[in-house]
Amino acid sequence: MQNKKNEKKEALLNAVIKVTSRDGLERLTTKSVEAESGCSERYIFLYFGSKDAMLTQTFDRVEMRFLNAIAAAFRESVSKEKGTEAFLRRVWYAGWKELSDNPDETKFFIRYFFSEQFVRFSRENHEKNTEPVVNMFAPLFLEGHDARDSIRYVLMSMLSSSLTAINSQKPSESEAICEKAFRFMYNSQRDILM
């Protein structure tokens, strides 16, 4: 019984991502999620309580997958890379790969992140979700510098540049876009890094 519930819940979350990625957040309705998922609309309210709660859980799931990829790359890079630039490049490429390998999730993330719903329902959770990553990266910045804003800038740069690559008509340019975005981000932050 629990497996069936988890399967339906997962189908609904995946449908939210697919519909939002394809049609935009403004066209996401419980009926469109029902049609995309093959699950009755009543399960949305049974499992989530509301469309907004379903969106919030979808965002949390997508964000945590992305943040976990960044954190894993950070931990792995600590022992492998010498020098701040090489270390950050390795982490950047891991985050980039997570985003570019999951284009629908990336589009969902960006569309939701810049929405009124995010501000009303998810901002507080987002702050809690990103706090461990901020704490990981904070020691890389000069003392007295609030790393939170810089890390937000880095993550937003990664998101927007990966979306550029996802939407590119030439997928072969993805790596060049990634490197160019990394260089720009790194050069803009270099003066405040240890």
Token code pair at residue 72 = 């894993």
pLDDT band at 27 (very low <50, low <70, confident <90, very high): very high
Residue 48 has pLDDT above 80, yes or no: yes
Per-residue pLDDT at 145: 85
Number of helical H runs and strand E runs in the chain: 10, 0
| Cα–Cα distance measured from residue 80 to residue 86, given in angstroms and rounded to the nearest whole number | 10
| 122 contacts 60 by C-beta, under 8 angstroms | yes
CB-side neighbour CA atoms (13 Å) of 144: 1
Question: Which position has the higher pLDDT, 80 or 6?
Answer: 6
What integer pLDDT is reported at residue 5 of this predicted model? 87
List of residues 6+ apart from 84 with CB closer than 8 A:
140, 193, 194
Helix (H/G/I), strand (E/B), else coil: 160: helix
SS3 call for 193: strand
The domains located in the chain, with CATH, are: 56-192 (1.10.357.10)
CA distance 137 to 141: 8
Could you report the per-residue pLDDT of 128-171, keeping only the tens digit for each? Answer: 999 999 999 999 899 888 888 888 888 889 998 898 888 887 77
Contacts of 2 (CB under 8 A, 6+ apart): none
Over pLDDT 90: what percentage of the chain? 71
